[in-house]
Amino acid sequence: MKPDSLKPMGIGVSLAVYVPAMILLLVMTRCAIPFLAKTTGMETIFFWFLVGGLGVFLPLIIAAVLILRAEGRSLDKKTWKDRLRFRRLTAKDIAWAAGGLAASGVASGLVMAGLAGVTGSFDHTPVFMSFEPLTSGRYWLLAVWVPYWILNILGEEILWRGVMLPRQEAAFGKWAWVVHGAGWGLFHVAFGWQLLLTLAPLLFILSYAVQKTKNSWVGVILHGGLNGPSFIAIALGLM
């Protein structure tokens, strides 16, 4: 489906999705997760997996379904392929995904090095995501992380890249990736400015790559390819 066959999603409508999602993430991370961790004495990271998955990313999937329904679309294979642009990957798509992974990793590393040089040593990990490397008796957290990770990647990629980006392309043309990346960054305000700056390369590189390829799987590979291995490396004490 070509972008010009979709109803354009301008700044106002885009913000009507980004802002509530941003507020939801803020409320869950600033209120719900600290309360649950303090009340139960369990690790904060457990509640990030639980509350983040079910309280933030699952609602993103529900929002995507509601928007598609409002467009009068059925939840079928055609919608998945043509409207949401989850199409078979081509060699070009894979090259864009691989290049995006490399560029995002290098650029984020440079941002981290620059911030460390300006502000000294710093911890860019939000409190609700902080945890010690896994030890005996705590590896069960990996079993909680897996469904969270799936909901995280699919929730964001279905709504942001599948539902919103094509309609933003109809509104902003070749500059849609800039608006899209900025809006995606707005959603992540709860992560704090240091992590947000570190994520900035990914926010815009991924948005550009998906717009360029018109394939939402590229976003899944980029997002999941950086998010997943990074967590595993931290969890196992490798970084």
pLDDT-based confidence at 1, cuts 50/70/90? very low
Q: What is the pLDDT of residue 104?
A: 95
> Residue 182 pLDDT > 60, yes or no?
yes
| pTM of the predicted protein model | 0.93
- Mean pLDDT, rounded, for 200-216: 98
**Average pLDDT of the residues of the chain:** 93
- Mean pLDDT, rounded, for 208-225: 97
What separation in angstroms does the CA of 35 have from each of 32, 41, 58? Answer: 5, 10, 21
Q: What is the pLDDT of residue 239?
A: 64
Q: What is the pLDDT of residue 236?
A: 82
> Residue 7 pLDDT > 50, yes or no?
yes
Tens digit of each residue's pLDDT (9 = 90 or more) over 151-164: 999 999 999 999 99
Alpha helices (runs of H) in 6-57, residue ranges in sequence order: 11-27, 33-40, 44-51
